[in-house]
Structure 1
């Protein structure tokens, strides 16, 4: 991995995990984790509210006749993919709040890196999400860097993929997050 930009972002994925990683972290690479089913089905009311908030008048989201002609029925905006899986902070019967991107928080805790940012984010879309779909998701740690020092502090970059599937098992999209977990450097005395 090289750091040839001013933000210190990785520009090439590592080919092998660093040798100084704890074995339990190395074992997580490319493993499916945190498989979950959404707490609620995809709902058109959310779509209309989202579209209205940004004045998105695309008839695919508002007019059933147009949606049937073009996509075989109503679909949701691709940009809403993660909306259907953002956990509600509270729900009846839940003892602790659910966190999105749990693998990110797991890495922060296990590697004792109290601070973190998402340095890069991409989404690849596949099958459209449709009203009534109940999505499932899983997370995969794709890579983790050797220790790096950036302007923020000393830590590691990691890339996590979040895969979204509908109830038929069709892949709807993959979000890739590159995070940087770090510890702030103490100022020299």
Structure 2
């Protein structure tokens, strides 16, 4: 079933119109998915689910260890520094592109929805791509004048299997008087 997105505004700059529906920023995880990251994440939120801590339970339930589905976006949060890396290292670059192209210096994530596919397994190498799905009309909000936009982050594993999609609805805005 295809997701329905609101229609995009008709007054968008050509550079923004050109982004809609076009995959951007395709990238792979910087390292294969590994158990240490999974256990550290589970420990940080006191997630004691035996599926993640006990290999025999994971084998019985899922055919081997998997990462918690809620970690899907974790694998693409870049380290602020990496050997040889240059420039800004941030997740969800299409969001920052839209802020710049629309001259909206402030932004918040208004909602986030994730749909899961195949489980993420230890050793998987994941690939994402970001797709701007819609950019709304200018509107006045309590935060200021701005636009809502929707971005999908689609993720597949090294076998080409879809493992999930994060959908972000954001509000980019300019504070009154800015």
TM-score (norm 2): 0.94
Question: For the residues of structure 2 that align with 1:110 and 1:92, how far apart are their CA atoms?
Answer: 30
Quote the residue 1:181 is aligned against: 172
How many angstroms does 1:146 deviate by? 0.5
Quote the residue 1:56 is aligned against: 47
Question: For the residues of structure 2 that align with 1:20 and 1:124, how far apart are their CA atoms?
Answer: 31
The alignment partner of 1:107 has SS state of helix
Quote the residue 2:10 is aligned against: 19
Question: For the residues of structure 2 that align with 1:20 and 1:89, how far apart are their CA atoms?
Answer: 36
Quote the residue 1:104 is aligned against: 95
How many angstroms does 1:54 deviate by? 2.2
Question: For the residues of structure 1 that align with 2:76 and 2:52, how far apart are their CA atoms?
Answer: 19
Gaps of 5+ in 1: 1-11
Larger Rg: 1
Contact 2:5 2:133 in 1 (8 A): no
How many angstroms does 1:18 deviate by? 1.6
Quote the residue 1:77 is aligned against: 68
Task: Please identify runs of 4+ aligned residues in structure 1 that moved more than 4 A.
Answer: none
TM-score (norm 1): 0.88
Contact 1:41 1:84 in 2 (8 A): no
How many angstroms does 1:13 deviate by? 4.3
Contact 2:15 2:101 in 1 (8 A): no
21, 40, 56: which one aligns with 1:65? 56
Residues matched between the structures, number: 175
Deviates more, 1:32-41 or 1:19-28: 19-28
Question: For the residues of structure 2 that align with 1:59 and 1:14, how far apart are their CA atoms?
Answer: 41
82, 95, 115: which one aligns with 2:106? 115
Question: For the residues of structure 2 that align with 1:186 and 1:49, how far apart are their CA atoms?
Answer: 44
Cα RMSD, aligned residues only: 1.4
